[in-house]
Structure 1
Amino acid sequence: MIPFGKTIRLFLVDGTANGLTTAELSNWTGIGVKVPRIKVKDYGSRFEFQKPGVYILIGKGDNNEDAAYIGEAEVIFERLVHHIANKDFWNEVIFFGSKDKYLNKASVRYLENRLHDLATKAGRFKLDQNIPTRSELSEAEQAELEEFLANIKVLTATLGHKIFELLEETVETASLKEQTFYCQNIAGAKGLGSPSTEGFILFPGSLLMIKEQGSLTPSFKAERKKMLLEGTLIIQGEFYFLTKNYVLSSSSRAASLTLARSASGPLEWKTEVGVPLKAFE
């Protein structure tokens, strides 16, 4: 499918990014709202808060990892007040409703289930909750809500949180989408990855050097230790084995993490036939 442009309107209600932000798309009856936890009660009387919708509580987990809770409500404000009293981890909420009477209890329960599914597959945030029950809807109703869901996904990312974005969707250009790059050395390390809009994705199955050289900075050593403790890296023979996709801010960071030394990503990462990443930039 050929991608098409979207016009998004963001409105800072207080004239500052620290207050309420609304997000709308052209020719869409839905509306997105982002607001800090400490200001939820200040805006409770606004119409967006008094309607049915789905919401994402966003904060940090016990290990300082990104964490979220996805829910639905017939009256958004009432549910958020409940969560203020009963859930401590979150500091911001994004929620979505309709400017007309399009959404009802069945439709928001369907959206809640689908958003949970998307977030689980993306694997970017820790979700500490049961799988929401999906409403039984007609094929036509589901098709309409899938379009609504696609707009929620776009606006959530626009509002600063890529909780629903698969890493595969961030690969930079069409010419790189089917291209895997390799970072290797004669000792047997073999990283696999690709550039993305977020920097560089290191793919699962990559083999990283365990022995660290003197040029590896303390920050890299700490990151590798953290990955090992979290299970992102496991020891496999003489190497660390990467268990899942891992995003780094640059190809050089990915190369250094793989080779356990200072490294230039544009030169170290190469296609299967030996063309360096630098040739694509």
Structure 2
Amino acid sequence: MRPFSLRVFVPSGDPTGVLIATRDDGIGKATIFSRPLLGEVKGRREWGFPGVYLLVGESKLYVGEGDPVGKRLEDHASNKSFWDRALFFTAETRLNKAHIQHLESKLVKLAKETGVVALDNGNSPQTPALGEEEYAFAENVLADLLLMLPLLGFSQFEASQAASERVDEDIDVPDALTTARGRSAYSALPRGMLFHSTSKGTKAAIETVDGGVLLKAGSTVAMEPAPSFDVWMPKYAQLRRQLIESGVIAHQNGQLVVMQDQFFSSASGAATVVRGVSSNADGWIGEDRKSFGDLLRALKKKNN
């Protein structure tokens, strides 16, 4: 994460009125208002842009998208009675229909994953097909939006990061952040040790090699990563897509299969790609029934 500033503009001068929030390094703006102020918001330019929106009640949430966003909000004023507060996010020249559909789909999945409030959505919208560049752009917008929302009083998605498994960086250092300490720990491990994992519908194996591990050919990978994977583990999400696009991981007999040995500088990195969720080394079990994490902890204790 990088530092950022959040600027809140109060057009009416009344802090209980309509609020317009923008990030100093962002591409769009969030408009926040209470239900009685819907008529006031209709006069703003943002009303006519494509956007994604949240309707929030005491214990219920609805996530939607619209192009223009205002038409959908106006419809919900008459057919949804539970909400008393709303937020919609727009960017005049940057967000198109596919972008906002992507944001809607990911936000719905995240809301279901957290379970903080009941979700009023009747179904789960699918993410549209986006090219690599457009997908990355939409994911960056989503990540920025998720950082803004709690600061604006919308905490319905906060539990996603806390609920997912963590990479234990003190034990097993992620590939993209591997330090000299992490590399030396892996270099001290015996070569050729095999570890297996059968978690989350996958069956995979790794082998210790100089400086890391090999994810073995024939291992199976989760068909779908966790809904929050792209948000909280973007480097591994990108790596997973690259391995699929390059054919290192391929569809075979209804499964995603590793077609050739693939090097990872950490067991946690291999586990995270395999399971599609942030994972540590404890999920890899050796022939002696001890985990890879146990091995690293013992090595760390010996070296201290």
TM-score interval, smaller chain: 0.5 to 0.7
From 100, 104, 111, the counterpart of 1:112: 104
Q: Give the counterpart letter for 2:49 in structure 1.
A: K
Corresponding residue of 2:10: 12
Separation (CA, whole Å) in 1 of partners of 2:65 and 2:155: 19
Query: Helix, strand or coil for the counterpart of 1:90?
Result: coil
Mapped pair 1:133 → 2:126:
yes
The correspondence of residues 175-254 of structure 1 with structure 2, limited to 5 A, is none
**Displacement after TM superposition at 1:168 (Å):** 5.1
Q: Give the counterpart letter for 1:109 in structure 2.
A: Q
Corresponding residue of 1:84: 77
Separation (CA, whole Å) in 2 of partners of 1:77 and 1:4: 32
From 102, 119, 124, the counterpart of 2:116: 124
Separation (CA, whole Å) in 2 of partners of 1:56 and 1:167: 17
Contact 2:56 2:84 in 1 (8 A): yes
Contact 1:41 1:81 in 2 (8 A): no
More strand by share: 1
Contact 1:94 1:156 in 2 (8 A): no
Q: 1:42 to 1:168 in 2, by over 3 A?
A: closer
Query: Helix, strand or coil for the counterpart of 1:18?
Result: coil
From 135, 145, 151, the counterpart of 1:152: 145
Q: Percent identity?
A: 32
Q: Give the counterpart letter for 2:144 in structure 1.
A: N
**Displacement after TM superposition at 1:5 (Å):** 1.1
Separation (CA, whole Å) in 1 of partners of 2:50 and 2:161: 32
Unpaired runs of at least 5, structure 1:
61-65, 179-281
Mapped pair 1:38 → 2:31:
no
Separation (CA, whole Å) in 1 of partners of 2:131 and 2:61: 29
**Pairs aligned (count):** 167
Contact 2:46 2:90 in 1 (8 A): yes
Q: 1:87 to 1:138 in 2, by over 3 A?
A: same
- Cα-to-partner distance string for 1:225-269 (whole Å, 9 max, x where unaligned): xxxxxxxxxxxxxxxxxxxxxxxxxxxxxxxxxxxxxxxxxxxxx
Q: Give the counterpart letter for 1:114 in structure 2.
A: K
Unpaired runs of at least 5, structure 2:
172-304
Separation (CA, whole Å) in 1 of partners of 2:9 and 2:79: 30
The correspondence of residues 260-275 of structure 1 with structure 2, limited to 5 A, is none
Separation (CA, whole Å) in 1 of partners of 2:161 and 2:105: 22
Corresponding residue of 2:51: 53
From 61, 69, 80, the counterpart of 1:68: 61
From 87, 91, 94, the counterpart of 2:87: 94
Query: Helix, strand or coil for the counterpart of 2:20?
Result: strand
**Displacement after TM superposition at 1:48 (Å):** 1.1
Separation (CA, whole Å) in 1 of partners of 2:81 and 2:65: 18
Q: Give the counterpart letter for 2:76 in structure 1.
A: H
Corresponding residue of 1:24: 22
Mapped pair 1:166 → 2:131:
no
Q: Give the counterpart letter for 1:31 in structure 2.
A: K
Contact 1:12 1:20 in 2 (8 A): yes
Give structure 1 regions of 4+ aligned residues with deviation exceeding 3 angstroms.
Answer: 167-170
Separation (CA, whole Å) in 1 of partners of 2:102 and 2:41: 26
Corresponding residue of 1:224: none
Separation (CA, whole Å) in 2 of partners of 1:101 and 1:58: 27
Q: Give the counterpart letter for 2:37 in structure 1.
A: K
Corresponding residue of 2:242: none
Corresponding residue of 1:201: none
